[in-house]
Structure 1
Amino acid sequence: MPRTPAAVISAVLVTLTIVLAIIGPPIWGEAAERIDAAAILQGASAAHPLGTDNLGRDLLARVLVAGRFSLLLALAATLIGAFLGVILGALPSVLGRRGARFVTGTVNALVAFPGLLLAMFTAVVAGLGARGAVLGIGVAIAPSFARLTQTLAASVAGADFVQAARMLGVPRRRVLARHVLPNIAEPLILNLAQALGGALLGLAGMSFLGLGVQPPQFDWGRLLFDGFARFYVSPEVALGPAAAIALAGIGFNLLGDSLARRAARTAVQGKPERPDAPVARDEPAEGAVLDVRDLTVTFPGGVTPVRELSLTVRPGEIVGLVGESGSGKSLTAAAVGDLVPYPGTVTYARLRLDGRDMAAMTRQELGTGLAMVFQDPMASLNPALRVGGQLAEVALVHQGAGRAEARQRAVDRLGHVHLPDPEKQARRHPHELSGGMRQRAVIAMGLMGSPKLIIADEPTTALDVTVQRQILKLLREVSEETGAATLFISHDIAVVGELCDRVVVMYAGRVVEELPVADLADGAKHPYTRALIASLPDMDTDRDRPLASIPGTQPAPADIGSGCAFAARCALATARCSTDRPLLEMYGKGHHVACWEAS
């Protein structure tokens, strides 16, 4: 948890509340129940700092003892509310359309209904006393949990892995239990702390109104109810339980807020236990536009698709990031661009753009200093808007330009990427352009600012060979003219070899080799890199023989063991490869390899 004043205060208050709940009854329980007829209804004194009640019992002792009962009741109410809310919020994902609409409408109505009135109504129906109050507060908490669950479930329901499960015919309940709920558990758990603070205050209010705890039981709210009648004569008898309620409620609410803020930080600095390479990593790479050290992307359940990745890209340099599908290339790009989808978490030792920590950069600075070109230009272009207007929006939002100036710059950028008649193309919608023209428009969008770094994530995959060559040539021209560093991501090592200056090869989330592109064909040392090159046919390939391929499949991120991830598919693997992971060692000038058998 970050060491902010709110976090420190919440930690102190919550710790004191929990400690009091544990030690209160054993230490002060006897004093809280001791009846003294000679000390009935006394005010504050040395013997009784908060006075006594109508039976002469010490109120300070009763406040200290009541902490356990108050906390247990609040915890029970919170768990009831969370259980009911999660079920209610998850039902739309399981029911049919009509049932989902009915449940959603019910949740909306309950959220709009005042929580205290709902709690009071439930408590009256269930019966006065601690049980009715707990049930009432639990029912009052449930709508907020239901709304949160419903919102989070809807955000996850559109994910590719959920759609794939549905296409495979996985039952809705199983989709909900295995794919949806595990991915939304974290914010729900974080919300429990704030809900517990609200439950403490709500139960105290119920007891104060006479609808909660009844004698001879007592909680802080009951003590406040008993002391309020004497407030104008002996205010201390009411201030004691009131202070306990306020401090405990504030503590849990601040704790929930601090935990939520902590969880919202998807980029947390901190070095992993074991770096990938023994080279000097503490010093920033001098002159590098992009400087990444020990980048790791994790998802709930211990799934880590990117592991301790380090790379640099210098001005005017094009670095290719290559590997099979699922090796972590696109997630690396998303992590650099702060686009990792929820509930992914990004950690790193260093992530700098042009010498500046990217976590400290504003959205406007990132929007002008970093440009991203994706595989599908239709996913980057709004089909309802004209191309020129979308490009102009970049200048309007990030550069504060006027409309006329922004539009003129959009036309200029479209011409810069060799779109014919850019004025005409700016007035068109994306569907009116060909695939190659749309990709050029997306590159032009990235050039609307003055990007220091261009990340191109498989920008030519969906294009035919002729257009692909044109886009590659354009990327090279842009890099040379603007001096921007380029990170080019592809699964096609032939394309990378044609365009890039340096190649970084990924396998199972890790960098296994890094080398100059001039050494790619004959100087690759890692068996995986060699296998990728061997799988590319050329004019001399014997067409009577089967194409070379890599046996087996890449392990899933959750199934990677302690040894080399490529060992099961490698013809050179030894027993050591299965147990010990090789580090990324320097092999030559600008050449690093992570392999025990590199030669």
Structure 2
Amino acid sequence: MRTPVGACSAALLALVIALALFAPALWGDQASAVDVDAIQQGPTAAHLLGTDSLGRDVLARVLVATRLSIELAVTATLIGVATGTVLGSAPSVLPRWAGRIVTSAVNIAVAFPGLLLALFFAMIFGVGTKGAVLAIGLAMAPAFARLTQTLSAAVAGRDFVAAARVAGVGRVRLLVRHVLPNIGEPLVVNATISAGMALLAFAGLSFLGIGVQAPAYDWGRLLGEGLNQIYVNPTAALAPGVAVVVAGLAFNLFGETVAGVVGARASRPSPLKGSAPAAAAAPAACVGDDRPVLLVDDLHIAFPGPAGQPVTPVRGVSFTVGAGESVGVVGESGSGKSLTALGVSRLIEAPGTVTAARLEFLGTPLLRAPEPEVRGLLGTSLALVFQDPMTSFNPTQRIGRQLAEVSEQHQGLSRGRALDRAVERLREVRVPAAERRARQYPHEFSGGMRQRAMIAMGLMGEPRLVIADEPTTALDVTVQRQVLRLLAQVREGGDGSGQAALLLISHDITVVAQSCRRVLVMYAGRIVEDLPTADLHTAARHPYTRALLAAVPALDTDRDAPLAVIPGRPPEPGQVTAGCAFASRCSFADERCGADEPDPVNVGAVGAMHRVACWHPQDSESRSRTSGVGIKTAGGGA
């Protein structure tokens, strides 16, 4: 309202709505009164815009036609938006083959001009008001379907959607509660603008004689009638044409104003309330003390690549996580750390594929067990803490409601009891004023508090494994330490639910060394070394692990010397060649390294677990002799 466009759009829209509401009552009788003595007259004092072929007042008829014209345009818009939203959302809930059919049909329909589609549907549904409404509504649907598909795809990749999947939320519920509320604003903006286009299209159909039929009339029909006497009384054609332009301009300017408001507050998401019915509790899985919580054997994750060749960014990963154990995963960006966590959590969707000789969580084979059983198990016994706490929460729902959804889905709690449990979990992770905070939205939390709330969401069930993917990224050192300490308390059973294993993914090898008992070093989609963190600085044997350690500055690092870096760049997933993937960056590489890829072998003492995938593992003596080998200065490599 503070801008000229906003004020003008509000005034025009208010005028159009007022006319639609009150014009029939004020001028209805005058618009239908026949005066045979004043047929096809020009503007006079009695008839400001003249009369039609039956002597009826043109101005009164234009004003009265506002209601029917606006009603038909809004109805057609609602049909188009509803149909388009359903078609655009269908691929998210239908089987993959059915979703492809719907998407292909939408793509074909979008290729046709809207007016051509409207005429086509008008011929199918027949001449008249109902046929025209359906024709224009269905002609608008493909554009809204394409918009919905595009917006849904952008939201579907957010972390809070992945968290909802792990919590066991079904596809329809996921779409209604988590996806559609986050794309509602752009849909409303486009619907408002499209209402003006629908008004113009409807006027065009009525003008052609296939829209509103006598005795009813809208602006398009009045325009057609006025055209017959344009040489006698031009205002009879001009008046309905001006009405169409003014009303269409009101809708379009209002849509542009709403779009500007939405764009200006993009960083402050609009809150929308959601609700969900309680679901039956899922059966809890049990596992013996002698069996690992997570067992991964020969895990492969692949995606379609160019020329039909699959790209495999995770290649043959094998490891176990015992009950109450803390395991860290380190490596450069692109090494496959996060993809491994997503594969374990069953969050890799088509066209990606996950295969493994064994992938078991609490003794349940995740790749072979029925989907309902897997969803119930992961939703209650697996907790995920994602890298970006802002995208990990649905911005349109309150924190308490998002936490409560887990208990509603899997523990059968009522809405009130689930919310009480959410407040308790927020208290356990040291969120002050938990009751008030539970009623706030994610953007009202600081980064550290959002991360605490994310951990609280994982504790809504009874987690046996917590997967933390870069939980301290973008947090300052003090908050980072608080989050790591909180994860340690969760692992040690400080929340009262018993010990939980921890799988901590980080690019910071120092953080892992301080927080975990075991570390997995990943490079180019494989685990190249698996050793206790107590031996990390003294007994690491893979050249890549040593290079990572050497690249971390210490207090005694010479500030005048260039920082040590690892030369070269990690290979792209689709460009991994035969042999050791680290060979091109390793000073110990020979012909065998370039030809054959080494398998992990145990190099630790008897009874110790220390596996290395290297043809030339370095011992402690060679480490002291070659402490700088394989590392270039900051000016010598990337």
TM-score w.r.t. the length of structure 1 is: 0.55
- What does residue 458 of structure 1 align with? 470
Give 1:160-559 correspondences, 5 Å limit.
286-301=290-305, 302-359=310-367, 360=369, 361-481=373-493, 482-559=498-575
- What does residue 255 of structure 1 align with? none
SS in 2 for 1:377: coil
Residue 393 of structure 1, CA deviation: 1.3
- Give the AA of the match of 2:611: H
SS in 2 for 1:405: helix
Q: For 2:411 and 2:499, how far apart are their aligned partners in 1?
A: 20
Larger Rg: 2
SS in 2 for 1:415: helix
- What does residue 576 of structure 2 align with? 560
Residue 477 of structure 1, CA deviation: 0.5
Residue 502 of structure 1, CA deviation: 0.2
- Give the AA of the match of 1:352: E
Residue 583 of structure 1, CA deviation: 0.5
- What does residue 89 of structure 1 align with? 107
Q: For 2:120 and 2:325, how far apart are their aligned partners in 1?
A: 58
Q: For 2:499 and 2:119, how far apart are their aligned partners in 1?
A: 57
Q: For 1:583 and 1:109, how far apart are their aligned partners in 2?
A: 67
SS in 2 for 1:338: coil
Please give the per-residue CA displacement for 1:67-114, whole angstroms capped at 9, x wherever unaligned: xxxxxxxxxxxxxxx99x96982896xxxxxxx7x6689899999999
Contact 1:372-1:446 at 8 Å conserved across structures:
yes
SS in 2 for 1:463: coil
SS in 1 for 2:452: helix
Residue 342 of structure 1, CA deviation: 3.2
Does structure 1 residue 597 correspond to structure 2 residue 630? Answer: no
Contact 2:398-2:442 at 8 Å conserved across structures:
yes
Please give the per-residue CA displacement for 1:349-394, whole angstroms capped at 9, x wherever unaligned: 1111111112313312220011111011121212222111111111
Please give the per-residue CA displacement for 1:12-54, whole angstroms capped at 9, x wherever unaligned: xxxxxxxxxxxxxxxxxxxxxxxxxxxxxxxxxxxxxxxxxxx
Contact 1:90-1:153 at 8 Å conserved across structures:
no
Greater mean deviation of Cα atoms: 465-474 or 351-360: 351-360
Contact 1:107-1:146 at 8 Å conserved across structures:
no
- Give the AA of the match of 2:378: L
Q: For 1:314 and 1:540, how far apart are their aligned partners in 2?
A: 36
Structure 1 pair 86/403, CA: closer, same or farther in 2 (3 Å)?
Answer: closer
Please give the per-residue CA displacement for 1:330-350, whole angstroms capped at 9, x wherever unaligned: 000110111114321101111
- Give the AA of the match of 2:322: R
Q: For 1:400 and 1:510, how far apart are their aligned partners in 2?
A: 40
Contact 2:300-2:317 at 8 Å conserved across structures:
yes
Runs of 5+ consecutive residues of structure 1 not aligned to the other structure: 1-81, 93-99, 115-144, 161-283
Contact 1:364-1:398 at 8 Å conserved across structures:
yes
Residue 462 of structure 1, CA deviation: 1.8
SS in 2 for 1:292: strand
Structure 1 pair 413/567, CA: closer, same or farther in 2 (3 Å)?
Answer: same
SS in 2 for 1:390: helix
Q: For 1:595 and 1:108, how far apart are their aligned partners in 2?
A: 67
Contact 2:289-2:323 at 8 Å conserved across structures:
no
Runs of 5+ consecutive residues of structure 2 not aligned to the other structure: 1-99, 125-141, 158-287, 619-638
Greater mean deviation of Cα atoms: 363-372 or 523-532: 363-372
Structure 1 pair 582/381, CA: closer, same or farther in 2 (3 Å)?
Answer: same
Structure 1 pair 148/391, CA: closer, same or farther in 2 (3 Å)?
Answer: closer
Structure 1 pair 105/573, CA: closer, same or farther in 2 (3 Å)?
Answer: farther
Give RMSD over aligned pairs.
3.4
Contact 1:291-1:353 at 8 Å conserved across structures:
yes
Residue 404 of structure 1, CA deviation: 2.2
* Identity between Structure 1 and Structure 2 (%): 55
Structure 1 pair 159/389, CA: closer, same or farther in 2 (3 Å)?
Answer: closer
Q: For 1:488 and 1:517, how far apart are their aligned partners in 2?
A: 13
* Number of aligned residues: 358
SS in 1 for 2:553: coil
Structure 1 pair 90/396, CA: closer, same or farther in 2 (3 Å)?
Answer: same
- Give the AA of the match of 1:526: H
Q: For 2:299 and 2:289, how far apart are their aligned partners in 1?
A: 15
Contact 2:106-2:145 at 8 Å conserved across structures:
no
Residue 291 of structure 1, CA deviation: 0.5
- Give the AA of the match of 1:290: L
SS in 2 for 1:470: helix
- Give the AA of the match of 1:350: R
Q: For 1:510 and 1:581, how far apart are their aligned partners in 2?
A: 11
- Give the AA of the match of 1:299: F
Contact 1:88-1:103 at 8 Å conserved across structures:
no
Q: For 2:537 and 2:120, how far apart are their aligned partners in 1?
A: 66
Contact 1:415-1:422 at 8 Å conserved across structures:
yes
SS in 2 for 1:380: coil
Contact 1:285-1:291 at 8 Å conserved across structures:
no
TM-score w.r.t. the length of structure 2 is: 0.52
- What does residue 59 of structure 1 align with? none
Q: For 1:113 and 1:489, how far apart are their aligned partners in 2?
A: 61
Q: For 2:121 and 2:581, how far apart are their aligned partners in 1?
A: 50
Residue 310 of structure 1, CA deviation: 0.6
Q: For 2:118 and 2:491, how far apart are their aligned partners in 1?
A: 52
Residue 522 of structure 1, CA deviation: 1.2
Q: For 1:113 and 1:556, how far apart are their aligned partners in 2?
A: 55
Q: For 2:106 and 2:293, how far apart are their aligned partners in 1?
A: 49
Q: For 1:112 and 1:353, how far apart are their aligned partners in 2?
A: 57
Give 1:69-88 correspondences, 5 Å limit.
none
- What does residue 264 of structure 1 align with? none
Contact 1:572-1:597 at 8 Å conserved across structures:
yes
Residue 428 of structure 1, CA deviation: 1.5
- Give the AA of the match of 1:406: A
Structure 1 pair 113/305, CA: closer, same or farther in 2 (3 Å)?
Answer: farther
- Give the AA of the match of 1:343: P
SS in 2 for 1:362: helix
Structure 1 pair 147/300, CA: closer, same or farther in 2 (3 Å)?
Answer: farther
Q: For 1:408 and 1:423, how far apart are their aligned partners in 2?
A: 9
Contact 1:453-1:487 at 8 Å conserved across structures:
yes
Residue 407 of structure 1, CA deviation: 1.4
Q: For 2:119 and 2:610, how far apart are their aligned partners in 1?
A: 63
